[in-house]
Structure 1
């Protein structure tokens, strides 16, 4: 069990980037074995090191794999692209950066090339907190066949209906363009789920939020929307605020859901 820095080049951003990669016990000795991969996304103002420094992710992964609560996996902790306060893992409307393309076409292929991942959606999941929760749902819902499961902790689950009220940033127009324009609508998580609900390759969704979190109403509203359109999902609420204490405590819940998804594919 170890965490390794992994540098790579992004053509989408024309920049040198890096991420951290957790490999499970026995990875180097069992040179033919391949592993499922989980991408763990940070929040706004964050970086690729925050899940390790603030969220005790390495210790949580060690503990869950040692106790067989989570199968041995490769876990990748990337940067969101490193622009401004946070990129939301989107391709920005104003052309500032192709942060979704960076993730899908640069980061993921480089991980698959350099690590022994199982290159199949049934063995690939994405999880994030806050802005990273939006990224996890956006990347999975917008790119069918890429991720089998997605999980969000205290996610900024923004739709066109609430972007103006809940997006506390002056550069929102640069990211999304006009709220009712095609670019914004393509990233609207309500619309993304509605477009994907009948797709056989739709991702399994898990999300939770603290009842004292400022984003609680947004998560509860997304839960109601998924119920209305008939998109099967798991939503949970816990006491807590928008803090690292909450995310550290409940990362095992998200990882446990991902393990359940992986297990369901074993039986398929």
Structure 2
């Protein structure tokens, strides 16, 4: 068992082989139809410098979930992950990674409760099943849990933790940047009622809540993804308290994880302070 606490200051067929671009990452955008949602959705892909579709060893892949009111390209506009990936790969600080940012609307990356006879939209299944299948059919990426990670910011942090802990065999690492981990069922926005019901359905809440999923883990549980939690010390959403609670629960269960508390609020400037750190973290966990 180990953990780190740090304080700081602020389905398509495979595509044709692409010629490597030395030193530069490639950004692409694609659309596909999700079976879970019965909708067409888009996603952005960042291919590492020198990406080779014919490479014998498939590339490790990191799935990136945006926040409430956000979009896939937030990871480029605010976190600059395309240029960060170039720099870190060039310096051999991380291995070449494929980054995938799907569109998640404002749905909390979670299967919605719905009503009897009318199940809600399955946004968690969309990520865990459909996005993975689409990307693995189109790109030369790993198709096993040891080669996948999932990360998210705010609402996306909730999604990354929820999907990652519900499907631990599919991901080697999970990153939550100021994730909406929700120690208690939220009630102050209509979106929460659509996702979990109002008052929240107890079984549905326990099955999808990151805090509830951590509570359900036995001591020294095997097969749990490596977890990386971050939050700003001035986060006005109250998410720092939930990150610390998750940290305490993981300590009690003797499960490896890292916690970063930064000088900042609920903003990209706080989250990008740890970009290099969490990219190194996931790179080190992916085989």
Give TM-score scaled by structure 2 length: 0.84
**Shift, 1:61, TM fit:** 1.3
Specify which of 61, 76, 82 is matched with residue 52 of structure 1: 76
**What SS is found at the alignment partner of 1:171?**
helix
Cα shift readout 1:184-216 (whole Å, capped 9, x = no counterpart): 111122221233445422111011111111221
> Any conservation in 2 of the 1:141–1:196 contact (CA below 8 Å)?
no
Number of aligned residue pairs: give it: 255
Q: Which structure is higher in RCO with an 8 Å CA cutoff and minimum separation 6?
A: 2
* Cross-structure match for 1:184: 205
Inter-partner Cα distance in structure 1 for 2:166 and 2:232:
26
1:210 to 207, 220, 232: 232
Determine which structure has the larger helix proportion and give its number.
Answer: 1
Q: Deviations over 1:205-238 (max 9, x none)?
A: 0111111112212211221222223222111211
Gaps of 5+ in 1: none
Q: CA deviation at 1:153?
A: 0.9
Distance in 2 of aligned mates of 1:22 and 1:64: 14
Q: Distance in 1 between matches of 2:99 and 2:217?
A: 26
SS at match of 1:145: helix
Separation in structure 2 between the aligned mates of residue 209 and residue 154 of structure 1, nearest angstrom: 4
Is the Cα–Cα contact under 8 Å of residues 232 and 266 in structure 2 kept in the other structure?
yes
What is residue 170 of structure 1 aligned with on the other side? Answer: 190
| Pair 1:89-2:109 in alignment | yes
Query: How far, CA to CA, are the matches of 1:256 and 1:32 in structure 2?
Result: 23
Aligned match of 2:268: 244
CA deviation after TM superposition for structure 1 residue 19, in Å: 0.3
Does residue 1:35 correspond to 2:59, yes or no?
Answer: yes
Cα distance between partner residues in 2 of 1:199 and 1:230: 8
- Flag structure 2 segments of 5+ consecutive residues without an equivalent: 1-24
CA distance in 2: counterparts of 1:158 and 1:253, whole angstroms: 25
C-alpha displacement at 1:9, in angstroms? 1.0
TM-score (norm 1): 0.89
Match of 1:260, SS state, is helix
In structure 2, how many angstroms separate the alpha carbons of the residues matched to 1:141 and 1:55?
25
**For the aligned residues, what is the CA RMSD?**
1.7
